[in-house]
Copies of this chain bind each other. A is one copy, B any other.
Amino acid sequence: MQAEIICVGTELLLGQIVNTNAAYLAERLARLGIDLYHLSTVGDNLPRLTALLRQAWQRVDLVLISGGLGPTLDDLTREAVALLAGEELVEDPGARRMIEEYFHRRGLPMPPANLRQALRPRSAVCLMNPYGTAPGLWLEKDGKMLAALPGVPIEMKYLMEEEVLPRLKRVRAQTGDPGPVLVSRVLKAAGIGESALVEKIRDLLAGQTNPTIAPLAKRGEVWLRLSAKAPSEEAAFALIRPVEETIRSRLRGYIFGTDREQLEEVVGRILTARGLTLGTAESCTGGLLSHRITGVPGASSYFQAGIVAYDNRIKEKVLGVEKALLQEYGAVSPQVARAMAEGMRRFYGVDLALSTTGIAGPGGATARKPVGLVYLALAYPGGTVTREERFCWDRTENKIAAAQAGLVLLWQHLEGGLSCAEQGSC
């Protein structure tokens, strides 16, 4: 099966937003082993959108469209699909109810403009969207398929997962021969840089063709993508398994998860399994650490409290950091990081307390304390460990890197992966 993706929106052609939908849709097709040879972006212009659509409809089996389903007059995907199909637009009663409900639930009157969103080409199906007022469209005609999805990422993803992918799988099952399948598995490592990681598996990287191994450096993590092709998913995963085992044994203590797993989820699972509670005492990360931790469903069962102690007065009052310590070493010091973490543990009765203090920038640096200098501490029942990190980015990236370093410290502690020297004062 061959597919083509068309992203619609003048804002994309003006460079006002980065097109993340394209990568998401492409990845989903790749996982199903559907070939994608063309991916195009076009503005809110009916003749150009229609021409592109006709070209795609002619050369592939499946056309995916994202964008152009909003309520305004420059949202033209419905019209273009109707022109392609040679059908008139009719109102879909179910879609109309969905849109009316959307406004009703919010206690708002439905603006008349939104009625346009209930229109569909006569033989198309509306895909119901619980996150917004734009239903998707699904069209099967002349042995070809077309799905039109909203441009808003959460709405697009929901409809892709819940409506489009099940239909594609059904069609492929019906047509008998599914062709070779490409599957990927991502191993995620933290606490090690890309070059150091690559050194440990250089021979594997060079020698492997099925699966291939592709390293990808992410913020504070290194991902290894293992991709294998085989007649079935099971056969492809069977090719991946022994290579994965070898990599895992070479990278013991670094690989924290696979595929979509995030570090905070892995940490949360360990805390839940061991019945441990957690608190945070943040300065330079400003709440990002607790935001990541509380992003995990069920985090309330282990995460109890976070203090963002930006002001030194708050460090004293809420975390019991002594004024003398702040004066002698300064707020950005291992001593204060330790006092913050220990204060969080002592005052709020959590099992583990993680703290950050540093200079996010652009201001606040001194001769001896540059922008990007961060101290972390983890207080646990047996003691406290501190760590120094030096980042060299802007405020946003320094905050992200410091929060990541905090989670890495916590994960390594939970995994027992810290040597006694690294544990510092343990």
Give the interface of A toward B (CB within 8 A). Answer: 10-20, 22-30, 36-45, 48, 52, 70-74, 105-106, 108, 110-111, 113-114, 130-131, 133, 152, 154, 184, 186, 193-196, 198-199, 205-206, 214-217, 225, 227, 280, 282, 285-291, 293-295, 297-300, 303-311, 313-314, 317-318, 348, 360-364, 390, 392-397, 399
Query: A71's contact among B45, B72, B194, B288, by CB below 8 Å, is which?
Result: B194
- Contacts of A198 on B, CB cut-off 8 Å? 71-72, 111, 113
With A113-B195, A154-B393, A290-B287: A314-B348 Cβ-Cβ less than 8 Å: yes
A129 CB, min distance to chain B CBs, angstroms: 11
A143–B230 Cα distance when bound, in Å, is 48
When the two chains form their complex, are residues A310 and B300 in contact, meaning their CB atoms are under 8 A apart?
Answer: yes
From the candidates B74, B290, B394, name the one contacting A308 in the complex (CB within 8 A).
B290
Secondary structure class of chain A's binding surface, majority of residues: mixed
Residues on the B chain within 8 Å of A73, using CB: 205-206
On whether the beta carbons of B19 and A12 are closer than 8 Å, the reply is no
> How long is the Cα–Cα vector from A156 to B15 in the complex, in angstroms?
15
Task: Check A300 against B364 for contact (C-beta < 8 Å).
Answer: yes
Pair A13/B26 contact, Cβ less than 8 Å: yes
Residues in B whose Cβ lies below 8 Å from that of A130: 392
Q: A15-B30, A186-B16, A291-B286 are in contact. Are A196 and B393 (CB under 8 A)?
A: no
What are 25 contact pairs spanning A and B, CB under 8 A?
A14-B30, A15-B30, A16-B23, A19-B22, A38-B42, A39-B41, A40-B40, A71-B194, A71-B198, A131-B392, A152-B217, A285-B291, A286-B295, A286-B303, A288-B291, A294-B310, A294-B399, A297-B361, A300-B364, A304-B313, A305-B308, A305-B309, A306-B306, A307-B318, A318-B348
Contacts A19-B19, A41-B40 given; indicate if A286 touches B308 (C-beta within 8 A): no
Which of A41, A45, A282 lies at the interface centre, i.e. has the most chain B CB atoms within 10 A of its CB? A41
Least Cβ distance of A25 to chain B in Å?
7
Q: Report B-chain residues with C-beta under 8 Å of the C-beta of A22.
A: 12, 15, 18-19, 41
